[in-house]
Every structure is written in structure tokens, then in C-alpha cells.
Amino acid sequence: MSTETTAASRYVTVNDLRLHYVDWGNEGATPMVLLHGLRAYGHWFDELATVVRDRYWVLALDQRGRGESDRAKDGNYTREAYSKILGDNAAQFFGI
């Protein structure tokens, strides 16, 4: 299986943090938002995105302090801090 991807790096600013996410395209398809665990980053999903991107609009966030996203100025890396980034509406966060 090929793991070649054509992904775009995108950025959004939330609560003074510049956050990076990976967008594998297929806008208009059903969105699939992928969230990694600790010590990971959005590109962990490259292989999965390659498999499903024909059916889904695949987006993967680099959580605060991970990948290409800014580090948390307050040093808070709790689950609560991560979940506040997306809030109640992941669609608005990603502009979908």
C-alpha cells in the first residue's frame, strides 16, 4: 500500500495559540476529524488518510504543543485544556 499523501498544512489561531492542522482535501465530503493522543501529531494519520480520503474530508489537528502548533504559554496540557481548544463545535474550528 502506498502512503503517499497530498496534504495541506493549515493554521488557525485560538486563544492566542497558533494551531496547525493537516487537510487531505475532498472538501464537500463527510468530514472526518482526527485527534491524536499525547506525544503524537497530525501526520500520524497519513496512512489512514490515504485509505479513506476518497470517501471523507480528512482533517487532523496538531494539539497544542505538538507538531507545528504553538506551545501552551500557561504550560497546561491537561485533557480539559485540549478539549477547550475545539470547544463544542469542531466544524466551526475547521471552517467546515
pLDDT at 2: 47
More confident residue, 83 or 43: 43
pLDDT at 88: 59
Domain count of the chain?
A: 1
CA dihedral 22, 27, 30, 36 (to 10 degrees): 0
Q: What is the mean pLDDT of the chain?
A: 88
Segment 55-67 mean pLDDT: 94
Asked if the structure places residue 34 within a domain, the reply is yes
Report the C-alpha gap between 50 and 24 in whole angstroms: 8
Residue type, 40: A
Domain hosting 53: range is: 8-84
Asked if the structure places residue 48 within a domain, the reply is yes
Query: Which domain CATH number covers 63?
Result: 3.40.50.1820
54, 24 contact by CB (below 8 A):
no
pLDDT band per the 50, 70, 90 thresholds, residue 1: very low
The listed range with the strongest mean pLDDT (3-7, 28-32, 92-96) is 28-32
Segment 48-73 mean pLDDT: 95
> What is the per-residue pLDDT across 30-55, written as a single tens digit (0 to 9) for each?
999 999 988 899 999 999 999 999 99
Report the C-alpha gap between 41 and 28 in whole angstroms: 24
Asked if the structure places residue 92 within a domain, the reply is no
